[in-house]
Structure formats: C-alpha cells, structure tokens
Amino acid sequence: MPGLSLRGISKQYGHTQALDGVDFDLVPGEIHALLGENGAGKSTLMNILCGRIQPSAGQIFLGDQPVQFTTPQDAKRAAIGMVHQHFLLVPMFTVAENLALASQTRQPPLQEAAEMAKRLGWNIPFTTRVADLPVGTQQRVEILKALLGNAKILLFDEPTAVLAPPEVEELFTVLRVLRNDGRSLVFVSHKLNEVMALCDRVTILRRGRNVGTVAVSETNAEELAHRMVGDAVESAALESMRSVGPDKSLTPLLSVAHLSTVGGPDAVALRDVTFTVQAGETLGFAGVDGNGQAELAAVLIGLRAKSAGSIVLRGQDISRLSPRDLERLGMAYIPPDRHTEGLALTLSIADNLTLEAANLPRFRRGPGGIFLDRAGLRAFAAQLAADFDIRANDLAQPARSLSGGNQQKIVIARALWRKPDLLVAVSPTRGLDIAATRYVHARLRQRQAEGGATVLISTELEEVIALSIRIAVLYEGKIVGIVPPETPRETLGLMMGGQAQRGGQAQGNSHG
Amino acid sequence: MAELLRQALRTFAALLTAFGLTLLVILLAHQDPRAALSALATGAFGSPYALAETLTKAVPLLLTGLGVAIAFRARLWNIGGEGQFLVGALAASALGTSVLKSLPAFILIPVMLLAGTVAGALWAGLAAWMRTARGVPEVISTIMLNFIAAQLLSYLLHGPMQEPTHAQPASEALPPAATLPILWAGTTLHGGVLIALLLVGVVAVFLFRTRAGFALSVVGANPEAARVAGMDVTRTRLTTMLWSGGLCGLAGGIELSGVVGSLYENYSPGYGFAAVAVALLGRLNPWGVLASALFFGALNAGSGSMERSAGVSANLSYVLQAILLLVLLASQRVRWTPRRNVVGEST
C-alpha cells in the first residue's frame, strides 16, 4: 500500500496565507498526529486531503503517483476517509440509511459495516435513528462511514473533543486496531497528552508552516508545546494557582437547592441539583457534554424556567428573574459559544462591547433615557478594548473581522468589566489557542482573587481542574458528587460516566 | 468608511448591471434604447413639472421603503407593505369621508393620517403577533395579509364604502379639507413630501441614536446574543413590525390625501412590493432609502413620457425594478433565514 506525501502545499485566502509550503508524509501503519494551535492550518490541510478544498500550490502524491482531488469523491476513490469533528450524519436517518447515503448506493452496505463493527468490537444498532444515539455511538457511525469502501487512510479531526475520558480510551484502542491492520491514520489535535499517548509521529504546524515532524518516542510534551506556540513559553499552560481560597466565614453567596427542570427532546432535565458557591470561590462543573450543563447555565442566568427547587443569591430568590434583573444584581455570563449567544458578528466591535453598557444611566440621554450617548459608548468601548487587550485596528469594524481569541476577549470583557459578584462561565476557552486560553484563565483567577464567585461549566476537564476550588460532576442532569480538584483523574472520569463516589468525600464537600 | 465605499460601489455596479439588462430587453423588443433613455430622463427631470412628478412619485416609495428597511434591519421579512399600504388608505378614506369631514383641514388631515398609520401598524401587528406567539414565519403571513387586504378593499368598494351614486367600485372622493395642500402651484407636489422627508430623519435618529434602535439592530444581528445581553427580543420584534407597518399605512393615507383622492381597486400599483427593492437598493439605511426612492420615483415619472414619446411601454420601469431587485439580492446575499452558526472552530 502506497504512502501519502504532500509537497509544498500552500493555500491562500485573500491576503491570508493559511498554509505555506507544507510538506507532510504519511506511511502505512502509523498514527500521525497533526498538532497546532487554532489557526495553524490543521483544518485547511485536512480539507485539502479529503478533497473539500483545492490547494493554491503544491502537489499530493499517493506513492509515486501525483494525484489531484477536486471533489471529496476523488479522495474517497483514493481510499481516504475522513471522520469530521462535526459529524456529517443526517440525524433523522437511521444508521443504515446514513451508511447507504455515504456509499451512494440504495442498499446500505450492511454486511461490510457489520463485519467492520465486529472487528472493532462495536455493537451498532443499524435500524436506530442517528438522532437517538449517544454522541459516542454517533462517532462510531461516522468512523464506519469513513471506513466504507475499505479506506486505507483515515483522517480524524479532533475526535476526542466530544468524548468523555473513558470513551477516549476506547477510541484510542480502536485507532490502534485500525493502525495494526495496516491503515495510516492522521490524528488532528491540540491536546499534547493525547498525542503523546496515542501517536507514532507528530507534525507540528505553526501559522501555516510545518515546523517539524518527529517521532513521539523522541520528544516530550514540553518540547511539543514549545514548538507549537513558538516563542519561549512554559508548557504548563494550565497549571493551577489556587492561592486564594473561598471566604468560609460568610454565608454562601449563591445557594442552589433541589433544583429541577423539565427535560425535552433537546434538553436534559436537571434533577435535584444542590450546591453552594462562596465569594472568592470557583465551583467547577465537569461532565461529558450534554449531561445538563447547558440547562444548568440557562436556569442560573434566567433563560430557562425551573420546575422545582430554589436559587438564592445573597438571600434573595432569583429563580424567576430575567437576565436583565440578574445583571443588575451583579451576575454576569460567559456563554459557551461566542457565535450563537455571545456576539452579534455583523455589528461593530464597539457595539458588541457595549451590549449591556448601553443600558447604564450614564450612557442614556433625553426624556426617559430613550437616546444613547454614542460618543460616550465609543469611548467606553475603546477603554474596554485597551483593558482587555483586544487587538483591532478599528472598533467600527464588524466583530467578525477579529480572530477567535479577540472575539472571545469581547465576551470576557463584557462579563468582567462590572466586576460581577457571581460569574457563570460556560466553556470560556472553547476553541482558543494556548496563549488566548492562558489569558482568559488569568482573568478568571484575577476575578476570583478579587473576591468574585464563579460557576465554571466546562467539558474540558483540565480547565475545570486548573481553575476550580471544588469540582461538581454532572451526569444525566444530576450531581454525581462534589470533590476537591486533587481527586485522581480516573475517579473523575468514572464519575463523569455516572459512577457515584463511594465514601464521604462527595457528600462532605457539598455544603462548602 | 471603506466599508461604506465598498457598499456604494457594489450598489452602483448592481444598478449598472440592471440597466444593462433592461436595455437588452428594449433591444429585444426592437425599440431604440437611446430614444427610450432620453425620453425617460426628460420625463423625470426635464421640466419643473417633471421634477415635481418625480418627487411626488417618490413619496409612497420612500415611506414604504423606510418601513420595509427597519423591519429588514431586525431580520423581520415584512413583505406585507402592500397590504399595510392598502389598509392605511382604507382607514384614512373611511375617516376622511365620515362625519368628521366637516372638521377643518388642520385637524382632519392629521386624524386621517394617524388613522392610516395605526391601521397599517395593526395589520403588520397581526403578523408580528402570529410570529412571536405562534412562530408563524412573517414572510408567509405578511404575503397572505396582502391578499386579504386587497380582497377587503374590493369588498368595501363594492359595498359599505362605495361612492354615493354606486356607479363605480370606488370610494367617495375626499372633501377639499381632507386633501393635502399642493406645495408648488401647477404641479402635483403635495405636502406629504415634507412628512416623508421628516420621517427619513426620524427613522435615522431612531435607528442610530436610540436604545430601541440599538436593540433592533442587535436583535437583527443575533437574537440569542440580544437575549443573553438582557434585551427583550419579543418586544423588540413586535414594536419593529408596528413601526414598519405604521410607515406603510401612513404611505397609503398620504397617497390618498395627496394624490388620488378616492380609493378604487388596484389602488396601489405595487408600492408595497417596490418598497422591498427601494429598501434593498438603499442598503436598509434611511438616507440610502431616500436616494433609492428618488431614483425609483424618477423612473416611474419618466416611464410615462417614455411610453408617449419613444413608444416603449411604461411597464418597462417595472421590468427594471424587478431585474434590479434580483441583481441586488444576488449581489448582497441577503440571508432570508437566520444563519446557522456552524462555524468550524477547530483548525
């Protein structure tokens, strides 16, 4: 089986050089990591390999043969399969129908798929609708799809992003089986520990260039982090700095008791959720995505109704208040997805920075405050941009013109400039590179040091461990336990899989 | 500024393309495009009368265009300007020929125009209510309400509101006191043009200087972000549709009081639809809408003269309008449905 080689691959978007003369070799029987920060060009390279976009320059070789992929079909014919991070499955179709769609046949290639599933030790319900399957199983369907037609080269785009730790281990086992069968695998990631644990070789991309390909056995996480980020930065990006603790002398700032919500087709029901947060404390919520995190955040910030229980902030029941009222009471929110809930991308950076500030009396003019002090708001936005290191040429530009990191800084600035007593932060660093992540974490720690309370909800276990004083684990809408961050990862992983903590630890800490 | 310039250039390019395609249509009809264009220009700008005619024709387009523009800015697709225009005219006509008609002009006219505004607002409000309470897409409901308004007009003109002699399906002519004064003797230019111009400024201030206008643009850009930021999305949508319908209804009242004088079937030559083209050509900006309403006004005023002296059908101005709308839509890629944010974050 021939290997795959890329020579001098470049891709230009307008003035942006997404890829710049990248060489890349994939040999049969290896798992080759593609490591890099956001914006390093990993996705662009993957999309070129699977025929979704064409390079501006450079050549792809299969063995010695130059090849050209103008459509995804071309790549498929060359036995290249792609497992997308955002699955390309039709949710309303059954597994079998999705496989038929992928193979472009009327009859689903069930026998081939079943044999493959058996080889990988999977039990796939072929007649179930994809929408009704858990995320881990959906990913298996996506992998089966990529394997159809006996793909020899498999591209995995951040496959662990959606998985719980135990599922990650299972996935790794499967990937090793696929490798040992003689396939070659590209594993895209920005998680160093995964690369170290799984891969044979690693290619590091930085700003569209290949800055080195090394055998994993001859390197270590520190060196990889160093190469990935470039200038000398310490590798321990997520080291914990819990110097400031909660003020135990006070009554809790926030106490949530027996909180429940009604579930639905798109929503997990919260069940009897009870916890407290002190001033100066960060309570982290860990868990696999889709176990009630979104619902918990929505209830806390007033966008979702509870069915039972209470949410008390400084002695006041706030469970029926609107987002606006909560904001006045000193609450702020960092939404999980800056594009859907955080920003109005087509509006200017200045407008986005002042979405809440526009309500302040000092920026209101005229009878009933119906007019806005636009000049004052512009000055305010400029101040925030300076304070939060938002790098923009012109604040009148639309927010979409900013990089992801700078966009997220807008969201962070809006949440933190008021020095909120209670911050609800959901996946505050999703999709950010190491430098931007570190910046956001520093800001969150600073707020905690100033005495702010934070409810941190994140699917990144490392992030929760790094920032939290206590960690609550959510599973199917319930708190499995509340434990200190020193708890072993394996234990946390088990809890995220729904296995409750035995012993007193889980209960003992739940009252602060 | 660069963005504004780019928008202006793009708009201009769209205009040129549409003009080119329209000239092609004239050629295909074996007519002389040069004669047609020159007749068009004379009819629109060639004399004081022609200029006044251009302004007069621009008034209903300007008001409905403003109405559509503010709705579109909030990503509310109000395609119901036509129906709102009709019910506005109906309400104004009903009041102007009612017992109130003996009132002096300075009371009667404001009352009529206010009634037209309120009627248009409520007509749009129906669609807004269905959208916010039941999730009915306003594109569909406003179009349907257009048909209902047209049938309502037809019914009323054959029945309760028919003129006293019952000779024609038309409404009773407005008394002189209900007629907007002519500003420029010997032309058609009426006082409504001042109201329309004033409203350009009012809408601009509303959109760019008020909190409600800010909320409107945020709701249009991303309703989820607006909700998270503490804005009342439902209320913003409701009031935006009311404003939008109100402007279209006012246009109906002004056209009745300033130009037509009595209602008949086909009372509107499609102002509410032309408004979509006006608003889009004006890039949903009130000053841009002013410019594009003047442009379309000139076109409508000139097309009559084009038919008379160059023998090219006046309907050609509608052909140009339609082509322009398509070119504009193609050039600015208006999103008719809220965009799903499936932006791949990973790299």
pLDDT of B95-144, one tens digit each? Answer: 999 888 888 989 999 999 999 999 999 999 999 999 999 999 999 999 99
Share above pLDDT 70 across residues of chain A, in percent, rounded to a whole number: 92
Residues of B in contact with A341 (CB under 8 A): 224-225, 227-228
List the single residue in A41, A341, A404 with the smallest CB-CB distance to B225. A341
Confidence band of A509 (pLDDT split at 50, 70, 90): very low
Contact A364 B211 (CB under 8 A): yes
> Searching chain A, which residue's CA lies closest to the CA of residue B1?
A396
Name which residue leads in pLDDT, A287 or A490: A287
CA–CA dist B295, B292 (Å, integer):
5
Q: A131-140, A348-357, A493-502, B277-286: lowest mean pLDDT where?
A: A493-502
Summary count for chain B: helices (H), strands (E): 13, 0
Contact B347 A37 (CB under 8 A): yes
CA–CA dist B261, B171 (Å, integer):
9
> For testing the chain A interface, which of B228, B234, B343 should be mutated: the one with the most A CBs within 10 Å?
B228
Contact A323 B227 (CB under 8 A): yes
Mean pLDDT in residue range A44-57: 91
Q: Is the pLDDT of residue A319 over 70?
A: yes
CA–CA dist A67, A9 (Å, integer):
13
Give the pLDDT of residue A14.
Answer: 67
Q: B42-93 pLDDT, tens per residue?
A: 999 999 999 999 999 999 999 999 999 999 999 999 999 999 999 999 999 9
> For testing the chain B interface, which of A347, A351, A411 should be mutated: the one with the most B CBs within 10 Å?
A347
CA–CA dist B312, A337 (Å, integer):
56
Closest CA to B286 of B61, B58, B65, B53: B65
Q: A34-48, A164-178, A386-400, A414-428: lowest mean pLDDT where?
A: A34-48
Three-state DSSP state, A211:
strand
Q: CA Rg, chain B, in Å? A: 21
Give the pLDDT of residue B1.
Answer: 59
Q: B218-272 pLDDT, tens per residue?
A: 999 999 999 988 899 999 999 999 999 999 999 999 999 999 989 998 888 889 9
Q: Is the pLDDT of residue A507 over 50?
A: no
Contact B222 A359 (CB under 8 A): no
**Would you say how long chain B is, in residues?**
347
For residues B136 and B224, is the Cβ–Cβ distance under 8 A? no
Contact A38 B343 (CB under 8 A): no
Q: Is the pLDDT of residue B337 over 50?
A: no
How would you classify residue A207: left for phi > 0, otherwise alpha for psi between -120 and 50, otherwise beta?
Answer: left
Could you tell me the two tokens for B216?
A: 């409107």
Mean pLDDT in residue range B328-335: 67
List the single residue in A327, A339, A370 with the smallest CB-CB distance to B230. A327
> Searching chain B, which residue's CA lies closest to the CA of residue A42?
B347
List the single residue in A333, A372, A398 with the smallest CB-CB distance to B228. A333
Helices (H), A289-373: 293-300, 323-328, 349-353
Residues of A in contact with B210 (CB under 8 A): 370-372
Mean pLDDT in residue range A91-98: 92
Which amino acid, one-letter code, is at B140?
I
Closest CA to A191 of A378, A330, A320, A33: A33
> For testing the chain A interface, which of B219, B334, B347 should be mutated: the one with the most A CBs within 10 Å?
B347
Residue contacts between A and B (CB atoms, under 8 Å): 99
List the single residue in A41, A341, A374 with the smallest CB-CB distance to B224. A341
Give the pLDDT of residue A15.
Answer: 64
Residues of A in contact with B3 (CB under 8 A): 397-398
User: A481: Cβ–Cβ under 8 A, 6 or more apart, which residues?
Assistant: A472, A473, A495, A500, A501, A505, A506, A507, A510
Contact A38 B345 (CB under 8 A): yes
> For testing the chain B interface, which of A156, A191, A334, A346 should be mutated: the one with the most B CBs within 10 Å?
A346
> Searching chain A, which residue's CA lies closest to the CA of residue B343?
A339
B346 touches chain A (CB under 8 A): yes
Q: A193-237 pLDDT, tens per residue?
A: 888 999 999 999 988 899 999 999 998 877 887 787 665 333 333
Name which residue leads in pLDDT, A168 or B60: B60
Chain B closest CA to A210's CA: distance in Å? 14
Q: Is the pLDDT of residue B207 over 90?
A: yes
List the single residue in A44, A322, A430 with the smallest CB-CB distance to B345. A430
Q: B161-204 pLDDT, tens per residue?
A: 888 888 888 898 999 888 999 998 888 899 999 999 999 999 99
For residues A336 and A415, is the Cβ–Cβ distance under 8 A? no
List the single residue in B214, B226, B228 with the smallest CB-CB distance to A372. B214
Contact A347 B208 (CB under 8 A): no
Give the pLDDT of residue A227.
Answer: 80
For residues A348 and A362, is the Cβ–Cβ distance under 8 A? no
Give burial (CB, 10 Å; 0-12/13-18/19+) of B326: middle
> Searching chain B, which residue's CA lies closest to the CA of residue A398?
B3
Which amino acid, one-letter code, is at B345?
E
Q: Is the pLDDT of residue A173 over 80?
A: yes
How many other C-beta atoms are found inside a 10 Å radius of the C-beta of residue B232?
A: 16
Closest CA to A283 of A117, A408, A469: A469
> For testing the chain B interface, which of A327, A345, A432 should be mutated: the one with the most B CBs within 10 Å?
A345
Give the pLDDT of residue A249.
Answer: 53
CA–CA dist A343, A355 (Å, integer):
9
Contact B221 A370 (CB under 8 A): no
User: Strands, DSSP E only, in A53-108?
Assistant: 57-62, 65-67, 80-83
Q: Is the pLDDT of residue A157 over 80?
A: yes
List the single residue in A335, A356, A372 with the smallest CB-CB distance to B230. A356
> Searching chain B, which residue's CA lies closest to the CA of residue A371?
B210
List the single residue in A303, A343, A430 with the smallest CB-CB distance to B227. A303
Name which residue leads in pLDDT, A359 or A258: A258
Confidence band of B324 (pLDDT split at 50, 70, 90): confident
Three-state DSSP state, A36:
strand
Q: Is the pLDDT of residue A240 over 70?
A: no
CA–CA dist A414, A356 (Å, integer):
8
B209 touches chain A (CB under 8 A): yes
Residues of A in contact with B342 (CB under 8 A): 86
**Would you say how long chain A is, in residues?**
512
Confidence band of B346 (pLDDT split at 50, 70, 90): very low
Closest CA to B203 of B66, B80, B73: B66
CA–CA dist B249, B245 (Å, integer):
6
B217 touches chain A (CB under 8 A): yes
Q: Is the pLDDT of residue B345 over 50?
A: no
For residues B88 and B122, is the Cβ–Cβ distance under 8 A? no
Three-state DSSP state, A109:
coil
List the single residue in B211, B212, B222 with the smallest CB-CB distance to A344. B222
Residues of B in contact with A428 (CB under 8 A): none
List the single residue in B222, B229, B347 with the smallest CB-CB distance to A345. B222
Mean pLDDT in residue range A156-167: 83
B342 touches chain A (CB under 8 A): yes
Residues of B in contact with A337 (CB under 8 A): 341
Q: Which residue has the tokens 């963005």?
A: B3
Residues of B in contact with A327 (CB under 8 A): 230
How many other C-beta atoms are found inside a 10 Å radius of the C-beta of residue A119?
A: 13
Residues of B in contact with A371 (CB under 8 A): 209-211
CA–CA dist A93, A264 (Å, integer):
20
B210 touches chain A (CB under 8 A): yes
CA–CA dist A97, B204 (Å, integer):
53
Confidence band of A242 (pLDDT split at 50, 70, 90): very low
Give the pLDDT of residue B78.
Answer: 96
Maximum CA pair distance of chain B?
76
B211 touches chain A (CB under 8 A): yes
Q: A108-118 pLDDT, tens per residue?
A: 888 889 999 99
CA–CA dist A376, A362 (Å, integer):
9
For residues B155 and B161, is the Cβ–Cβ distance under 8 A? no
Mean pLDDT of chain A: 86
CA–CA dist A445, B3 (Å, integer):
39
For residues A55 and A91, is the Cβ–Cβ distance under 8 A? no
Q: A252-311 pLDDT, tens per residue?
A: 899 999 999 998 777 788 999 999 999 999 999 998 777 899 899 999 999 899 999 999
Report which secondary-structure segment, H or E, holds A228. Answer: helix A221-229
DSSP secondary structure string for all residues of B258-301: III-S-BTT-SSSHHHHHHHHHHHTTT-HHHHHHHHHHHHHHHH
Give the pLDDT of residue A508.
Answer: 40
Contact B225 A36 (CB under 8 A): no
Helices (H), A247-319: 293-300
Contact B347 A356 (CB under 8 A): no
Residues of A in contact with B224 (CB under 8 A): 340-341
